[in-house]
Amino acid sequence: MHEIWIKTSFSAAHRLRGYDGKCESMHGHNWMVEVFITCKKLNKMGLGIDFLEVKRKLAEVVEKLDHKDLSNFFLVPFFKDKNPSAENIAYFIYHELKSKINSSGIKLSKVMVKESEHSGVSYFER
């Protein structure tokens, strides 16, 4: 089995509702995203999945978040009942991308979201 990964980034603001501390105030991050995809077999060219295809599909998902106020659920309805935490952002990206990537022998295995080079979160399903 092969696992490929793609990196991208986006900028967005957020605030954590109900958080007792600085993160309750509006602030922003240059979010870094890494996605990991497992491929059970390779095609005739020796590829599991074309990097360009994954980059395009990931860009479609990230575009929904880029330069947005994630706390404004009118801009990103997913966050109406969820805090725009790194955990929920990773969940959002995973499920949006999963429907675009998964096919026979190809599976989105994990999405990692970092709000800095020192902290982040991964989301995956078992």
Indicate which residues carry an active-site annotation: 23, 67, 115
Residue that has been written with the tokens 């330069």 in this structure = 67
CA distance 79 to 33: 18
CA distance 81 to 92: 13
CA distance 65 to 13: 9
